[in-house]
Amino acid sequence: MALALQKNLAVSICPQSDNPEGNKFQGQLREVGADAMQLFVAEPLTLSPGDPVVVEFKIEKNQFSFEAKTQSMTGSLLSLSKPAAIKRSRLREGHRLAVDMKMAYTPWTESGRFETTLVDLSEMGVRMIGRKQLKKGMLVSIDFYVKEDKIRVLCQGQVAWCRATPDNDQLFETGVEFTTISNETRKRLTKFILKKNGGEEKGE
């Protein structure tokens, strides 16, 4: 567990009370103590001491999650109980769809909103092409709209890779993995992608 819980680790936080859509919020691990941990969150959460949350994070091809109890929420700092155990599972490959739509994003470490072109969509993340080179591991706020099925995607993501396009070194192709997409939005994206690919969603 000590190897997994590293400082500045990007995590998503899913409150378990009064959250029927499974909304998730972006956070970053700041400190791990003997009995508690502190996380920086992008926006203050409505949590009270004792409220349960599920924390998720990814390392390479693995998905990790653990349950914890809220100790306090002060400004942008969330204090949680240290988990007794961390679950690990292999990341599955998502259904993919080639698209051509506009997307906006804002890096956590910068000000300003940037426009880009979304060229590949899955329920796990996106591939985009734009003029800005992003660093692997960077956190970004994502905003795009699937007009055909009226799906608005507002979530956080983490840059998985970025490289210059083969025919133009002024354009960069970037893969971004969703980190805080809600369970409901992910389900809607999956249905849309399967419909466009001519498939049917299998029962869960």
Domain ranges of the chain: 10-90, 96-196
Within this chain, domains 10-90 and 96-196 share the same CATH topology: yes
Confidence of residue 143 (pLDDT cuts 50, 70, 90): very high
Express as a percent the part of the chain with pLDDT over 90.
Answer: 57
> What region, left, alpha or beta, does residue 7 occupy, with left being phi > 0 and alpha being psi -120 to 50 degrees?
beta
In this model, does residue 173 exceed pLDDT 90?
A: yes
In this model, does residue 2 exceed pLDDT 60?
A: no
- Structure tokens belonging to residue 25: 């919020």
Q: What is the pLDDT of residues 81-135, one digit of tens each?
A: 988 889 988 766 678 899 999 999 999 888 889 999 999 999 989 999 999 999 9
**HSE-up (13 A, CA, CB side) for residue 148:** 10
Output the pTM of the full model: 0.74
- The CATH number of the structural domain formed by 10-90 is 2.40.10.220
pLDDT of residue 95: 85
- What is the architecture, at CATH level 2, of domain 96-196? Beta Barrel (2.40)
- What sign does the dihedral 190-92-125-155 (CA atoms) show? positive
